Structure 1
Amino acid sequence: MNYNLNSQDTTAQQSTSGKRLLKLFAYIKTEHRALLTVFGIMVISQALTITVPFVVGYTIDHYVFTKDFSGILKWSGVLLGMFLVNLLFSYWQTLMVGQVGQRMLYMLRNAVFVKLQELPIAFFNQNKTGDLISRINNDTDKMNQFFSQSLVQFAGGIMSMIGAGIFLLSINFKLGLATLAPAILLLLFTRVLSPLVKKRNAANMKSTGGMSAEIQESLSNFKVIIAFNRRDYFRKRFDQVNKENYATATSAGIINNVFTPVFSFCSQVALLAVLAYGIHLISLGEFTVGLLISYLSFAMYFYNPIRQLAILWTNFQMAMAGWDRISQILELESDLKVLPASPAKESAPLISFQHVHFGYADSKEILHDVSFNMEQGKTYALVGPTGGGKTTTASLIARLYDPTAGQVLLNGRDIRSYSPEERTSKIGFILQEPFLFSGTIQENIVYGNPVYAGYTAEQLEAVMEEYGLNTLLARFEDGLATNIVSGNDGISLGQKQLIAFMRAVLRNPDLLVLDEATANIDTVTEQQLEAVLQKLPAHTTRVIIAHRLNTIENADEIFFVNHGEITRAGSFGHAMNMLLQHERRS
């Protein structure tokens, strides 16, 4: 399945934008009541604001020209009261929207992270970590900025325009039409340019994600860069993505700012039309000075938000571009579905491959029509040249991937019919490059193991002694309390493999897969690990992938894996002959 987020068809993405916008409202359904309250406050606030020009015009015509100072003071007090009420409503509104924005940011980031945990390894193989981080951090933040800062101004501007438009048309219909005519041109201008604004902002976000991925990759592999003295290579790569980001940012910036001058020009033309036509009406005796001042104010209340909307509309398009990128993740489904459980076959082997084919996305097939069985309680070894398919076979055994054709059975049942909890309780997997979390050794070895999750250090040490793991634990100065910082060189790769080994053994699995688990461990320690494996229950099946001959010489059965085929090698000597023949041919 293609999980590459950056290779998806942009035309298809644009066609689903409307559906994604509806999904956004579904995601923030818990905030609907708060948003309705905010909009209610906003209606009252805008109603008070839009009434101000009418009160000012009325006061000028009825009290200023007649020099009635008591009336001026009375209506000035009314205006002051309106301003104070509006201040309180504005503060309340800003506070609520800020809280909604932060809750939405938390909710979206949590939803994306939960979705990432549901997706298979194939997804992470096809997408760069830096780009995913950018989607979680930058793209969700664009949405938060719009909802917590721009949304109120955006909705308030729309309400101000509607209210001002109603007053403009009701006071003088012809003058109102002349005032609103430039707004129609702006609406058409905005409609034509909006898709381009969104497209360029989406391109900028994509290039930002690419730059983040490049930085993450360079920093993660900085030791290699130093060792090979290739700072120039990574400097060139960063310069390339930085230039691309600069180009997309410049392009987005230009299109984002094209609205403001056009909107300002149209608003100035509208005000000029009001002033010229209004003076003409006053000369005919159809208008008063106070009414003209009110009318100019209403025109400004209509066009000032339009100038703000030029910026806010850009923010909205950026938020929607960010939501599209986030939606790409949220809409994905894992292809590792749990199937309905089928009856298990009696006296079935622990693991059975039946005509299995497999290939990674966009690559040639790696395993071709593979069939073999593994019985319970035995030790199996997978040997063969690099790239032959050993780790791929182990990954299929642990259901890190599903076959593209054929079937893998676990205890006579399709492995796809086991829930993730059932499967991981039965299968332990020690990877070539074990991953440890920042924390103590105790926290790492009980990770994902509910049996020992609540154990104290003393209780866990007693359990480890039963399994013979105390000799391995003694290699760490502070024992279970030894602190580990992920990505830090304070702990060697060999020590990481020891911790991963202890973590897997404590799960007491029915099947334990060791993929080069002793590659970075000395011979003495390897012998200690072998002693620990001998203490595992008799029903535990071991699958060992190793290049060291002494690691596999005691295996009950050896499989030779090469060119996508798995062949029973028989004895240890026979397996070695097959390896030697392959080396001679190559």
Structure 2
Amino acid sequence: MNYNLNTLFDKEKKTSNVKGLRKLFQLIPHERKNLLLALVIIIINAASKLVAPLLVGYAIDHAVVTGDYKSLLKYALYILLMYLIASATQYLQTKVMGSVGQRMLFTLRNALFNKLQELPIAFFNQNKTGDIISRVNNDTDKINQFFSQSLMQFVGNMAMMIGAAVFLLTIHPKLGMATLVPGICIFIFTMAISPWVKKRNALSLKASGNLSSEVQESLNNFKVIIAFNRRDYFRKRFAKANNENYTTSIKSGLANNLFVPVYGLGANFAQLIVLIYGISLIINGDFTVGILVSYISYSDSFYKPLQQIASLWTNFQLAMAGWDRISQILNMENDLVQESLPTTEETHEFALSFNNVYFAYPEGKEVLHNVSFHFEKGKTYALVGPTGGGKTTTASLIARLFDPTEGTIFLNGKNIKTYSSKERAEKIGFILQDPFLFSGTVKDNILYGNEAYVNYSDAQLTELLKTSGLEELLSLFNDGLHTTVSDNNSISLGQKQVIAFIRAVLRNPDILILDEATANIDTVTEQLLDKILQQLPSHTTTVIIAHRLNTIENADEIFFINNKEVEPAGSLQDAVAKLISGHKSS
């Protein structure tokens, strides 16, 4: 399955703003009451602001013109009350929506993180870590900013515009229609140009993700850069990514700022129409000065929010572009699901069987072609072959990190797809050449994911390690079980492999896979690990991938993997001959 986010970005048809916003609201059904409360507050806020101009016009015609200053004071108090209500509701609106925005950010990041945990390793192989982090951090923050700061302003301005339009058309329909003509032109312009603006913002976010990926990748490999004195290479790659980010940011900025002058021009035209048409009505006796003042105020109440919407619309387009990138991940499904398939029982009960297995990476060449072999319980098997021949791919298929393109893999006589993730993890142990450990202690890491011993005390765990023949390995750590494990090179790569080894062996798996698991370990420690492997339970089948001959010399059977095939290699000497021949042919 193709999990490449950038490829999907280029191929997918982007969702409309309305549909995207609807799906976004579906993530926060628990916020419905708060959103309705905010909407009520907005309506009260808009109503109070819209009543004030009517009171001003009425005061001019019935108090200022007539010289009734007592009534003028009364109208002034009413207008002040409207402004106080508007201020109070504005504060409540900000408070309610600020909380909604933060909770949405929390919910959205949780949903993203949970989805990432559901996706297979193929997703992480096909995408850069920096880009994924950018989507989790930056893109979700764009949505949060829109919800907490812009959404209610957007809705509030819309309410003001609708209310102002109603007043304009009610007071004088013809003048109202003339006043709204520039607004209709602005609406048509906005609908026409919005998809282009959204695309510009999406490309900018994509470039930002690529820049984050470049920085993360370069810093992770900075030792290599220093060792080969290739800071210039680092600078060139960063400069390229930074330049792309700069270019797309400039283009998106220009696109976003295009709304402001157009909206301003429309507002100016509307004011001009009101003045010319309104004065002519006054001359003809159809209008009063107070009504004209109110009308100008309502025109301003329509077009001033429209100008604010110009900048808010930019934030909306940016948020929707971010949502497109986030929804790409949320819409993905793990293709490594547990299936209710007929279980084929093998009469000879092999620990593992490959039956007519084919495998190819997405948009890549075929790695395995019609491969069939069997592993018996309790035996040790070695997989050898030239670099790139398919050894690690075969091991990954055994652990079901990937599924075959065609064919079937059986674990203990059952289709491996019928096992749940938990069952499969209990039955298969996998020790990688570059193991991943969590920050914490040695104890935390060797008990990771092992429910059987998760509540063991130090004394119980030490006794367990002694019983399993693993106690001697603890001497490699200064503070034993409480040795700190962190990202700052507190322990060596060899020590990390030892921890991964202990973690896997303690699970008593049916199949234990060692992918160059002793590559960074000294000879003495390797001999100790080999001794422990000899003492594994009788049901454990060991699969070893290694280049060092002493690692595989005690294997019960050796398989040679190259040119899409997996075949028995015979003796160690035969395997060496095949390996030499394979390197020459490649």
Is 1:523 the equivalent of 2:523? yes
The aligned counterpart of 1:546 is 546
The aligned counterpart of 1:78 is 78
Contact in 1 for aligned 2:343/2:415 (Cα 8 Å) = no
Please state whether the residue corresponding to 1:544 is helix, strand or coil. Answer: strand
Change (3 A) 1:107 1:522: same
Is 1:358 the equivalent of 2:359? yes
What CA deviation, in whole Å up to 9, does each residue of 1:40-68 have, x standing for no partner? Answer: 11111111111110011111111122222
Contact in 2 for aligned 1:344/1:411 (Cα 8 Å) = no
Change (3 A) 1:565 1:119: same
Contact in 1 for aligned 2:15/2:324 (Cα 8 Å) = no
Unaligned runs of 5+ in 1: none
Please state whether the residue corresponding to 1:281 is helix, strand or coil. Answer: helix
Partner Cα distance (2:64, 2:104) in 1:
50
Change (3 A) 1:585 1:293: closer
Partner Cα distance (2:485, 2:99) in 1:
36
The aligned counterpart of 2:457 is 456
Cα drift, residue 77 of structure 1:
1.8
Partner Cα distance (1:54, 1:171) in 2:
10
What CA deviation, in whole Å up to 9, does each residue of 1:105-127 have, x standing for no partner? Answer: 11111111111111111111111
Cα drift, residue 196 of structure 1:
0.7
Task: Name the aligned partner's letter for residue 261 of structure 1.
Answer: P
Which range moves more in the overlay, 201-210 or 31-40?
Answer: 31-40
Task: Name the aligned partner's letter for residue 121 of structure 1.
Answer: I
Partner Cα distance (1:368, 1:411) in 2:
23
Which range moves more in the overlay, 501-510 or 81-90?
Answer: 81-90
Cα drift, residue 572 of structure 1:
2.6
Cα drift, residue 85 of structure 1:
2.3
Partner Cα distance (2:449, 2:218) in 1:
31
- Identity level (%): 58
Partner Cα distance (2:226, 2:302) in 1:
61
Partner Cα distance (2:460, 2:20) in 1:
51
Instruction: Give the structure-1-normalised TM-score.
Output: 0.97
Is 1:223 the equivalent of 2:223? yes
Partner Cα distance (1:20, 1:126) in 2:
25
Cα drift, residue 571 of structure 1:
2.6
Please state whether the residue corresponding to 1:407 is helix, strand or coil. Answer: strand
The aligned counterpart of 1:147 is 147
Partner Cα distance (2:525, 2:10) in 1:
54
Partner Cα distance (1:8, 1:17) in 2:
19
Change (3 A) 1:225 1:164: same
The aligned counterpart of 1:271 is 271
Is 1:511 the equivalent of 2:511? yes
Partner Cα distance (1:219, 1:534) in 2:
41
Partner Cα distance (2:40, 2:11) in 1:
38
Q: When the two structures are aligned, how many residues end up with a matched partner?
A: 585
The aligned counterpart of 2:385 is 384
Contact in 2 for aligned 1:161/1:302 (Cα 8 Å) = yes
Instruction: Give the structure-2-normalised TM-score.
Output: 0.97
Which range moves more in the overlay, 80-89 or 316-325?
Answer: 80-89
The aligned counterpart of 2:48 is 48
Change (3 A) 1:427 1:162: same
The aligned counterpart of 1:575 is 575
The aligned counterpart of 2:370 is 369
Please state whether the residue corresponding to 1:558 is helix, strand or coil. Answer: strand
Task: Name the aligned partner's letter for residue 520 of structure 1.
Answer: N
The aligned counterpart of 1:178 is 178
What CA deviation, in whole Å up to 9, does each residue of 1:253-276 have, x standing for no partner? Answer: 111111111111110111111112
Is 1:13 the equivalent of 2:13? yes
Question: After the TM superposition, which residues 168-207 of structure 1 pair with which residues of structure 2 at under 5 Å, given as runs?
Answer: 168-207=168-207
What CA deviation, in whole Å up to 9, does each residue of 1:13-59 have, x standing for no partner? Answer: 22566544432221122212211111011111111111110011111
The aligned counterpart of 1:418 is 419
Is 1:498 the equivalent of 2:461? no
Partner Cα distance (1:104, 1:388) in 2:
47
Cα drift, residue 456 of structure 1:
2.3
Partner Cα distance (1:44, 1:429) in 2:
62
The aligned counterpart of 2:437 is 436
Please state whether the residue corresponding to 1:14 is helix, strand or coil. Answer: coil
Contact in 1 for aligned 2:484/2:490 (Cα 8 Å) = no
Partner Cα distance (2:235, 2:352) in 1:
48
Cα drift, residue 347 of structure 1:
3.5
Partner Cα distance (2:209, 2:279) in 1:
56
Task: Name the aligned partner's letter for residue 503 of structure 1.
Answer: R
Change (3 A) 1:295 1:231: same
The aligned counterpart of 2:295 is 295
Unaligned runs of 5+ in 2: none
RMSD over aligned CA atoms reads 1.5
Question: After the TM superposition, which residues 128-147 of structure 1 pair with which residues of structure 2 at under 5 Å, given as runs?
Answer: 128-147=128-147
Partner Cα distance (1:573, 1:206) in 2:
52
Task: Name the aligned partner's letter for residue 127 of structure 1.
Answer: N
Cα drift, residue 375 of structure 1:
0.8
Task: Name the aligned partner's letter for residue 570 of structure 1.
Answer: G
Partner Cα distance (1:266, 1:219) in 2:
50
Cα drift, residue 451 of structure 1:
1.2
